[in-house]
Amino acid sequence: MRYEYRGFWNSEGCCDIESCTRPDGKRVFIVTELPANPGTSITNMAAHLATAIRKQHGLLAEQFIWIEHYAPSQSRGGSKLGSKLIGPEDTYDLVRFAAYDDEGNYIEPKWKRLTTHQLEGLLTGTLETDAIWAETKKETI
């Protein structure tokens, strides 16, 4: 679905957002940066966009998974996963938010690059976000 938003300095921005519901009921949202996005990037707007979508769908934080997708080229090859093609240039990053402000808005986003295996696990429910963040801690030790 095409999603339009106001970015920094009141610029118009747009992205694509796809979602799926896992067997455990959690919703996974993949937000894709569009090559023709005239405004603020999805990365710079991560907290705002994730808050808006979570609230629109009436989800609690523990029911919500946010993934950023960048596809540098329009003509991608790769394996089909749902309605997405995963090509060698595509990148997917799991985003978590360290806190909320007083109004329940996300703040302080952090990103973790996903492998194809991790992405598939998040989408199917065979992998939890905590396991991915635990791997990050091991890598930095």
Q: What is the pLDDT of residues 77-100, one digit of tens each?
A: 444 444 455 556 799 999 999 888
Give the pLDDT mean for 49-56.
Answer: 95
Domain count, the chain: 1
Overall pTM > 0.85: no
CB burial of 81-108 (b: ≥16 within 10 Å; e: otherwise) equals eeebebeeebebbbbbbeeeeeeebbee
Q: What is the pLDDT of residue 96?
A: 95
Q: What is the pLDDT of residue 86?
A: 52
Q: Is the pLDDT of residue 72 over 80?
A: no
Measured between alpha carbons, how far is 100 from 104 in angstroms, rounded to an integer?
A: 5
Please give the residue range of the domain that contains residue 80: 2-140
